[in-house]
Amino acid sequence: MNRYNDGDIAAIYRVIEQRRDMRHFLPDPLEPALLQRLLRAAHLGPSVGFMQPWRFIRITDSSLRQRIHTLVDEERQHTAAALGQRQDEFMRLKVEGIRDCGELLVVALMDRREQHIFGRRTMPQMDLASVACAIQNLWLAARAEGIGMGWVSLFDPEALGTLLHLPTGATPVAVLCLGHVPAFYTEPMLQQENWATRQPLEALVFENTWQHDQAGNPSPDATA
């Protein structure tokens, strides 16, 4: 039989539904064996041409962690300025838990990716899609283990790459805050804070051709 049993299937859907992007953490460290399981889950992710473009950098130096926080905070200010009308609302949001989480990881795309052509000739960005798949595996495994994860993308990749001595061609794509949490949010924090809402699935599933909405707009927008 190919199908999992009902209990296992329910667990898969439950972890998908209950995974949250977390920004509030307890300071307790992650048990090494647990971290290893999470990294292995990430490494089992699919990748274009099986290129496995992900690299994981554990940040264990507290001064380095602080410098990463500074980089993120700088970008937070730039993002706020670029948001115009929603600037103040954005500044009130908590968008990272870098200083509080038990474990901090930076995920980077490897160097020399241009050698990998399979599945990337017309869409080289499939390397990034592959890294995202690995991160999602880690995210789901963490949730099942009772561990929170927050994906932070507010940083200048060049500055972070320099800070971490990435080789030419490699680029950081995610700062991941991992750790024990007081409680998982029951819905996306950006929804709790009225920044955006989850769109109805029906508005996003089309048949045969792209469907414009009734107002003639090409695409619905969660933050409109």
Which residues are near ligand FMN by CB under 6 A? 20-21, 23, 95-96, 151-154, 188, 190
CB of 188 to ligand FMN, least distance (A): 3
> Are 175 and 68 a contacting pair, CB within 8 Å?
yes
Tell me the closest approach of the beta carbon of residue 119 to ligand FMN, in angstroms.
20
In the complex, what is the shortest distance from the CB of residue 5 to ligand FMN, in angstroms, rounded to a whole number? Answer: 27
Separation between Cα atoms, residue 126 and residue 140, nearest integer Å? 21
Residue 23 or 116: which CB sits closer to ligand FMN? 23
Residue number of the CB closest to ligand FMN reads: 188
CB of 21 to ligand FMN, least distance (A): 3
Q: Which residues contact 214 (CB under 8 A, 6 or more apart)?
A: none
The residue (of 89 and 212) whose beta carbon lies closer to ligand FMN is 89
Using the minimum distance from each CB to ligand FMN, give the nearer residue, 3 or 17.
17
- The structure tokens 């996306």 sit at 188
Residue 112, Ramachandran bin (φ over 0: left; ψ between -120 and 50: alpha; else beta):
left
Residue number with CB closer to ligand FMN (23 or 113):
23
For residue 102, the one-letter residue type is: G
Residue 23, Cβ density class (10 Å: 0-12 exposed, 13-18 middle, ≥19 buried):
buried
